[in-house]
Structures are given as C-alpha cells and as structure tokens.
C-alpha cells in the first residue's frame, strides 16, 4: 500500500496530477519567447533558474480555447496571475507545462488509479493515462511522454 506524492493543477475544467518526483520547479508564468516554426502548442522558451526551458501551453495541447490574458504586459486579471509553469524532468529533457493554476500537493495511493473511461481518453486525446478519485475529487494523471511528444521520435 504505497502512496506517492503528486502535484496537481487545473487546466480548463479538470484537475490533473503528475508525480511530484518528476517536478523540478513550480514557477509563476508571464510569457514565453515565441519560437517561430515550433508546433502550435509550444508556447516558447522561458528562463527558469538560469536554464532554458521549452514550455507547452496545456490549454492548447488539450485542445481548449486559449486563456484571455495571453498578451504580454502587466497582469490584467486574476486568471493571468494564477497561471503557473510546472517544470518537469523527463529523462534528460527538461520542459515546462503552462497551466491555469496550481493546486495542492497530495499523496495518492497507487491503487487509487484506474484506467480512464473511454470518453476521457477520447476527449484528452490520450494525454491522460489514469484517473484517481480522492476525497470526492477526480484527478487525471497525465501521460508526460505523450504530452512532450516523445513518441514522435519513434514515429
């Protein structure tokens, strides 16, 4: 009966989770330097603790309409203030995910994770690999390699 610490965050109407051991930093997010020619879901490059980190806008990645306050400049709304970038490590790669807001860090039992229902898989285009319900809340466990486009290498 092992429980692992997870970092959770909101994108759109759902709450997602990722293993805390994969998370390097949780930073506030303003804008990223746009990289022309990169896929549309790549917001661009940011500098975090002196390191160059490519960041993916999860709203776009998940097919949601982009957030309102995406233009650079002083924070115009609460939504913009809440935005975070979750900096993760996957193997030797370091990348960031832009999310609407960060939620609590909590322990989730390994056994609590189940396969997501078909409709969730379909709606999230395979980016969610498991679902867990904790204290009546539903958390969607993200498939990091898929989000970061890993399978494209083998494609």
Partner 1 sequence: MTERVDLQEFIGGFVVEAAELVTAANAALLEIEAGHAEGTSRPKAVRDVFRALHTIKGLAGMVGVEAIVDIAHGLETLIRTADRAGGQLSRAAVEVALQGVRAIGERVRAVSEQRTPAAAPPRLLEAIASTDATGDAPAVAPQVSAELDARLSPSERAQLANAVAAGAPAWMLSFAPSESNAARGVTIGSVRSRLATLGEIVKVAPRTVTGPSGAQLGIAFDILVVSSAPRETLADAIAASLESVAPVLAPPPPVAQAPLPAGPGAEPSTRELAERDDATADVVPIGRAVIRVELSRLDELQEQLSLLTVSRFRLEREIAAMADAGHDVRRLRQVADLQGRQLRDLRRAILRARMVRVAEVLEPLSLLVRSLARSSERAVRLELDARDTELDKAVADRLLPAMVHLVRNAVDHAIEPAAERRARGKPEAGTIRVACTEIAGNQLELVVSDDGRGIDRAAIARRSERTIDHDADLLDVLCGPGFSTRDVATRTSGRGLGMDIVRRIAVSDLGGELRLATTPGAGTSFTMRIPLTISIVEVFAFACGRQAFVVPVSAIEEIFEIADAGITPPSAPGGRSQVSLLERRGRAIPMFSLGRELAIDDGAAARKAMVIRRGGEAVAFSVDRMLGRQEVVVRAIDDPLVQAPGIAGATDLGDGRPTLVLDLGELGLAARERQLP
Binding site for partner 1 (CB under 8 A): 31, 33-39, 42, 44-47, 49-52, 54, 56, 72, 74, 93-95, 148-149, 152-153
Q: Both tokens of residue 147?
A: 């989000």
**CB of 26 or CB of 134, closer to partner 1:** 26
DSSP 20: G
**CB of 30 or CB of 134, closer to partner 1:** 30
What b-and-e string marks burial along 54-71, b requiring 16 or more CB atoms within 10 Å of the CB?
bbbbbbbbbeeeebebee
Shortest separation between residue 54's beta carbon and partner 1, angstroms: 4
**Rounded-to-integer distance, Cα 88 and Cα 16, Å:** 14
**Rounded-to-integer distance, Cα 129 and Cα 141, Å:** 6
Tell which residue, 55, 109, 51, has the closest CA to residue 86: 55
**CB of 42 or CB of 131, closer to partner 1:** 42
Shortest separation between residue 4's beta carbon and partner 1, angstroms: 26
Shortest separation between residue 96's beta carbon and partner 1, angstroms: 10
Shortest separation between residue 75's beta carbon and partner 1, angstroms: 9
**CB of 130 or CB of 144, closer to partner 1:** 144
**CB of 36 or CB of 65, closer to partner 1:** 36
Return the bridge partners of 26, or none: 86
Shortest separation between residue 132's beta carbon and partner 1, angstroms: 28
**Rounded-to-integer distance, Cα 46 and Cα 35, Å:** 11
């Amino acid at each position: 009966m092992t429980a692992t610490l997870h970092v959770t965050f909101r994108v759109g109407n759902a709450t997602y989770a990722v293993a805390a051991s994969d998370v390097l930093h949780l930073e506030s997010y303003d804008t990223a330097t746009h990289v022309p020619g990169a896929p549309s879901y790549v917001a661009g490059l940011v500098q975090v603790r002196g390191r160059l980190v490519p960041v993916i806008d999860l709203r776009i990645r998940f097919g949601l309409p982009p957030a309102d306050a995406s233009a650079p400049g002083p924070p115009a709304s609460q939504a913009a203030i809440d935005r975070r970038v979750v900096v993760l490590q996957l193997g030797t790669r370091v990348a960031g995910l832009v999310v609407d807001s960060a939620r609590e860090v909590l322990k989730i039992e390994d056994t609590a994770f189940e396969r997501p229902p078909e409709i969730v898989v379909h709606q999230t285009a395979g980016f969610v690999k498991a679902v867990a319900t904790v204290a009546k809340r539903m958390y969607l466990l993200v498939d990091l390699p898929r989000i970061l486009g890993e399978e494209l290498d083998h494609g």
